[in-house]
Amino acid sequence: MTNFSTATSIAHNVASGAQSAASVVEEHLQRIGQREEEVHAFNLVTSAEARERAADLDARIARGENVGPLAGVPIALKDNMCTRGVPTTCSSKILEGWKPPYNATVVDKLFAAGAVFVGKTNLDEFAMGSSTENSAFGPTRNPLDTSRVPGGSSGGSAAAVAAGFAAVSLGSDTGGSIRQPAALCGVVGVKPTYGLVSRYGLVAFASSLDQIGPFSHSVADAALLTEIIAGHDPMDSTSIPKPAPSLVSVLGRGVEGMRIGRVADLPEGADADVLARLDAAFVALEKAGATIVDVKLPSLSYALTAYYLIAPAEASSNLARYDGVRYGNRVAANDMNTMYADTRAAGFGDEVKRRIMLGTYALSAGYYDAYYGKALKVRRLISNDFAAAYANADVILTPTSPTVAFPFGAKTDDPLTMYLCDIFTIPTNLAGHPAMSVPFGTGQANMPVGVQILAPTLGEEAMFKVAAVLESAA
Amino acid sequence: MIDNGLPEGWELVVGLEVHVELATKTKLFSGSPNRFGDEPNTNIDPVTLGLPGALPVLNEHAVELAMRIGLALNCTVKPSTFHRKNYFYPDLSKAYQITQYDEPLNVDGFLMLPGGVRIGVERAHMEEDTGKSTHFGGAGGRIHGSDYSLIDFNRAGVPLVEIVSHPDVRTAEQARQYVNELRAILVAVGASDAKMEEGSMRCDANVSVRKYGAALGTRCEIKNVNSVRSLGKAIEYEARRQIDVLETGGTIRQETRHWDETDGRTHTLRTKVDANDYRYFLEPDLVMLAPDAQWVERVRAALPVLPAARRTNLAALTGADEDSEAIAVVVERGQDTYIEEVKNAGGDAGRALVWVQQSFAEEGNAPRLPAKDLAALTVLERDGKLTATQAKTVLGDMLETGGGDPAAIAASKGFEALDTSVIEGFVDEGIAAQPDAWAKYCAGEEKAMGALVGTIMKLSKGKADGKVVTAILQQRRGS
């Protein structure tokens, strides 16, 4: 893998004057120029704005200003985060051309930290998918092997970092949409505790599961980004009313004495090469002084089913606003109902339609109790199982994805096969816990394998300590 | 059996759903102003428009006003949740309304009507209002068949409380009383201006009929009732319609009906079959609303004296009937404290009530006239120094100039109460002019006294004191 500069080193160099923000941006724009056509990580590259911003930062630094902890760091944003005056499409035709009049809270925070935005990244339409093949604007390719998918739904953000188009990026994770593409592209990906990072300005897929998090080359970068975007936001009622945790400072502390959970009843389906890397990770942690303990998560096998009722149910409601009345694309018709139907038929892709129908059905009178209601009960069971497991373990290790990056079209014929990509990542979202994927060697076809670290609510410190040890052992 | 105006044997059963807009500065889930009558689509923001990525944040003051309503209606304030009610309509920007569903904020209250009738309040829950659609072209102001429609989102997200009564209302008059009393309470606690004509208070009625003693009949929900008067008319019409259907062997279909003010009838709006499936589910963008006990008690302690208690107090103060119009009107205007001030200034509260009701309609709860001046006027009247007619003239002058000494005004106008001997003379003339009335009055017909007093007052050119005239007539009859 190419050795790209980390955000930490860029910020240090730019702030100290060793390197200009302008040169950092040019370096990244140059790589975009060389490979973006092939990779298609972006829906939009904002070169002009990035250059202008870098020049402004350089001028401020020359005046002796402290421009923030991300001074001059090129960042890519998943195209489902609102950026004022800059198109935000969710890779959907229905929102093509829509320019939000406001910034997502995370965007304001990154800007205040001195970051430089280089573009909006491709995703599975409305973040529904695990390969970025569901984008209305064409798939993103895995920079490590362009015949393979980058994972999804934040495939563009993962690919942008893996290809060196941006030092770091933000994605959103509803059922694994940060961690799975991070694993498939060989980068670090974090889904923080639900409520740690504000969702204000993140276009909702499933509100009770969505969470924004970073992609990066290093664990330290991921910790830095998480610190910066975390913290209470009065604009998000589900935001945890606590200050952001201190994470960079815990990275060197090691795992001595920590209890690492191994799931004894892990659902089947992971490939042998992936499981081999997981075993190697346990060995590495044990060598670093941690204890491996067996935990049981019996309800885990129901997680996927529960998720595919809860997430589509919320999505069916969240996506109802795309009706052609106030913004986005409209297909004109002679009466209201036809306008609604034609607009939505033309504007949404198959996977989005599939989930809207599934979710509508699950919430319907006469079916609510059997489907949505039961899924909520499973969700509670999963939380209970995790609580019991965390009584004996500080973190739990699982594979991130059951396989390495797969070729295009391999899973597009059968939605259920595609849904299984998230079997190890979904339980975390249902519980609202943090989890992250750290690259830990390679598997089949020399493609990267990610190991997933799960932690209880606000257990980011323990999670990052383990991640730092795995990173140095990889 | 209560007189409900319906054919013999039929009982009317009505439950009322009243929506009120809360008098907050900003909307229920965003910082946009909550203000009626502004230029369309100026009080908007990403949350109001349901833009992608926007999130609701609950308005604390709206919760406080909702609790005031609940507590004033004797409800229990409970931990509550918000749900999404999903349906498509152009003025519903998110395609769902955020409302309280199975766990409302206020439950199990009641409201007492004048005369001691108790109407149960099932719940008073919070929700957001929709935008306002106006349809142009086509028939009947409906979206279907119109040429185009305009939407004003100023109203979208305005905080509402929906107050749902139990089906305890038994007459159209009780329904009117309920809404009037509710309105008075809402205004008194400062929760809403509750103006039906501006739409800040809206009322739907669930109407059914049954034979006395029978099980509840099938109900129809009546919408588009825009005044208290229309509410009564709509209920009466609907009850008769249902009785006609039942008496001719038909059955009532559960449906929503639209009250048409112009033809005075209700018309089918939608039947239960084509009712929406709202797919309610817990709003994941909000957390549970559980006001702590201290907050609830703070709100309860700060509640003002409610209209019913104020009517009782004012009736005691003035000697008037508690259910009289004068008491109701003066309390509604908030002028009862003023009458108390008049009394404290040495005035006659009974006379003050009459003058305040008659002459202070435009004066609000803090009349311009100093209480001591009205007090002085009522004393002159009570002591027979001024007749009612003279007092009215003096009061008119006082209101014009913002006060003054009523005795001096009376003197300047040459108002002096007539000597009893002079009045006796007018009484003689009056009896002579109305021999028939005098005969009837002597035979015990009290109504005949009116004609006699009228004639005598006319003869005195209004200068005689009516009370003195009455006393003389009674004395002469020997009663």
Q: Which domains does chain A have, with CATH numbers?
A: 7-251 (3.90.1300.10)
B441: pLDDT strictly greater than 50: yes
Q: Can you tell me the distance from the alpha carbon of B402 to that of A209, in angstroms, rounded to the nearest whole number?
A: 66
Q: Which of B49, B143, B279 sits opposite A364 (nearest CB)?
A: B279
A257: pLDDT strictly greater than 50: yes
When the candidates are 1.10.10.410, 1.10.8.870, 3.40.50.300, 3.10.20.30, the CATH number that belongs to B420-477 is: 1.10.10.410
> How is residue B417 written in tokens?
């109460």
Residue B284 and residue A365: Cβ atoms within 8 Å? no
Q: Which residues of B touch A340 (CB under 8 A)?
A: 88
Q: Can you tell me the distance from the alpha carbon of A189 to that of B249, in angstroms, rounded to the nearest whole number?
A: 71
Number of neighbouring beta carbons within 10 Å of residue B449: 18
The pLDDT, as a whole number, for residue A1 is 46
Terminal CA-CA length for chain A: 13
Report chain A's mean pLDDT, rounded to a whole number: 97
Predicted complex ipTM: 0.96
Residue A238 and residue B287: Cβ atoms within 8 Å? yes
The answer to whether A244 contacts chain B (CB < 8 Å) is: no
The answer to whether A314 contacts chain B (CB < 8 Å) is: yes
Q: Which of A204, A206, A365 sits opposite B277 (nearest CB)?
A: A365
Number of neighbouring beta carbons within 10 Å of residue B39: 8
> How is residue A98 written in tokens?
């829509």
Residue A360 and residue B279: Cβ atoms within 8 Å? yes
Q: Can you tell me the distance from the alpha carbon of B413 to that of A431, in angstroms, rounded to the nearest whole number?
A: 86
pLDDT band for B140, please (50, 70, 90 cuts): low
Residue B277 and residue A201: Cβ atoms within 8 Å? no
The pLDDT, as a whole number, for residue B84 is 98
Mean of pLDDT values over A327-348: 94
The answer to whether B200 contacts chain A (CB < 8 Å) is: no
Mean of pLDDT values over A334-358: 96
Closest CA to A262 of A293, A287, A284, A241: A293
The pLDDT, as a whole number, for residue A293 is 98
B418: pLDDT strictly greater than 90: no
Q: Which residues of B touch A90 (CB under 8 A)?
A: 52
- Comparing B470 with A357, the larger pLDDT belongs to A357
User: What percent of chain B stands above pLDDT 70?
Assistant: 98
- With 0-12 CB in 10 A as exposed, 13-18 as middle and 19+ as buried, what is B60? exposed
Q: Which residues of A touch B147 (CB under 8 A)?
A: none
Tens-digit pLDDT profile for residues A14-71 = 999 999 999 999 999 999 999 999 999 999 999 999 999 999 999 999 999 999 999 9
Helix axes A219-229, A105-112, angle to 10 degrees: 110
Report chain B's mean pLDDT, rounded to a whole number: 92
User: What percent of chain B stands above pLDDT 90?
Assistant: 68
B141: pLDDT strictly greater than 80: no
Q: Which residues of A touch B57 (CB under 8 A)?
A: 234-237
Task: Report domain extents, chain B.
Answer: 10-300, 307-412, 420-477
User: What percent of chain A stands above pLDDT 70?
Assistant: 100
Say if CB A220 and CB A8 are below 8 A apart. yes
Mean of pLDDT values over A310-330: 96
pLDDT band for B402, please (50, 70, 90 cuts): confident
Tens-digit pLDDT profile for residues A376-433 = 999 999 999 999 999 999 999 999 999 999 999 999 998 888 999 999 999 999 999 9
Residue A208 and residue B277: Cβ atoms within 8 Å? no
> How is residue A389 written in tokens?
């497991």
Q: Specify the DSSP element, H or E, that contains B428.
A: helix B420-433
- With 0-12 CB in 10 A as exposed, 13-18 as middle and 19+ as buried, what is A323? buried
Give ∠ CA B277-A238-B82 in degrees, rounded to 5.
30
CA atoms within 13 A on the CB side of A371: 21
Tens-digit pLDDT profile for residues B211-234 = 999 999 999 999 989 999 999 999
B61: pLDDT strictly greater than 60: yes
Q: Which residue of A has its CA nearest to B144?
A: A335
Q: Can you tell me the distance from the alpha carbon of A471 to that of A453, in angstroms, rounded to the nearest whole number?
A: 12
Closest CA to A104 of A91, A90, A93: A90
- Comparing B443 with A445, the larger pLDDT belongs to A445
A2: pLDDT strictly greater than 70: no
Cα B238 to chain centroid distance, Å, stands at 22
Q: Which of A100, A237, A360 sits opposite B286 (nearest CB)?
A: A237
Residue A82 and residue B52: Cβ atoms within 8 Å? yes
A345: pLDDT strictly greater than 50: yes
CA atoms within 13 A on the CB side of B400: 8
Tens-digit pLDDT profile for residues B236-276 = 999 999 999 999 999 999 999 999 999 999 999 888 777 78
Mean of pLDDT values over B149-157: 96
Q: Is the peptide bond before A153 cis (omega within 30 degrees of 0)?
A: yes
Q: Can you tell me the distance from the alpha carbon of B84 to that of B62, in angstroms, rounded to the nearest whole number?
A: 18
Q: Which residue of A has its CA nearest to B95?
A: A321
Say if CB B125 and CB B99 are below 8 A apart. yes
For chain B, how many helices (H) and strands (E)? 15, 14
- With 0-12 CB in 10 A as exposed, 13-18 as middle and 19+ as buried, what is B3? exposed
Residues pairing with B205 in the sheet: B16, B222
Closest CA to A303 of A423, A433, A176: A423
pLDDT band for B1, please (50, 70, 90 cuts): low
Q: Which residue of A has its CA nearest to B149?
A: A336
Residue B55 and residue A98: Cβ atoms within 8 Å? no
- With 0-12 CB in 10 A as exposed, 13-18 as middle and 19+ as buried, what is A97? exposed
Tell me the DSSP string of A151-193. Answer: -SSSHHHHHHHHTTSSSEEEEE-SSSTTHHHHHHHTSEEEEPP
Closest CA to A211 of A437, A468, A433: A433
Mean of pLDDT values over B281-307: 97
The answer to whether A25 contacts chain B (CB < 8 Å) is: no
Residues pairing with A438 in the sheet: A451
| Separation in Å, CA of A337 to nearest CA in chain B | 9
Contacts of B102 (CB under 8 A, 6+ apart): B81, B83
Q: Which of A100, A207, A364 sits opposite B285 (nearest CB)?
A: A207
The answer to whether A329 contacts chain B (CB < 8 Å) is: no
pLDDT band for B457, please (50, 70, 90 cuts): confident
Q: Which of A202, A335, A364 sits opposite B53 (nearest CB)?
A: A202
Chosen from B44, B48, B55 to mutate, greatest number of chain A CBs within 10 A: B55
Matching residue, tokens 């930290």: A113
Contacts of B452 (CB under 8 A, 6+ apart): B430, B431, B434, B437, B438, B441, B473
pLDDT band for B479, please (50, 70, 90 cuts): low
Q: Which of A100, A200, A320 sits opposite B55 (nearest CB)?
A: A200
Q: Which residues of A touch B286 (CB under 8 A)?
A: 237-238
Q: Can you tell me the distance from the alpha carbon of A314 to that of A208, in angstroms, rounded to the nearest whole number?
A: 8
Q: Which of B93, B151, B281 sits opposite A321 (nearest CB)?
A: B93
Residue A102 and residue B88: Cβ atoms within 8 Å? no
Q: Which residue of B has its CA nearest to A205?
A: B53
Q: Can you tell me the distance from the alpha carbon of A44 to that of A399, in angstroms, rounded to the nearest whole number?
A: 32
B169-201: b or e for each residue (b if 16 or more CB lie within 10 Å)? bbbbbbbbbbbbbbbbbbbbbebbbbebeeebb
Q: Which residue of B has its CA nearest to A81?
A: B53
| Separation in Å, CA of B56 to nearest CA in chain A | 7
At A286 the three-state DSSP class reads helix
The set of catalytic residues of A is: 78, 153, 177
The answer to whether A105 contacts chain B (CB < 8 Å) is: no
pLDDT band for B361, please (50, 70, 90 cuts): confident
At B265 the three-state DSSP class reads strand
Q: Which residues of B touch A360 (CB under 8 A)?
A: 279
Q: Can you tell me the distance from the alpha carbon of A306 to that of A358, in angstroms, rounded to the nearest whole number?
A: 12
Lowest mean pLDDT among A216-225, B236-245, B402-411: B402-411
B442: pLDDT strictly greater than 80: yes
Residues pairing with A263 in the sheet: A295
Q: Which residues of B touch A172 (CB under 8 A)?
A: none
- With 0-12 CB in 10 A as exposed, 13-18 as middle and 19+ as buried, what is A354? middle
- With 0-12 CB in 10 A as exposed, 13-18 as middle and 19+ as buried, what is B109? buried
Q: What is the largest CA-CA distance in chain A?
A: 71
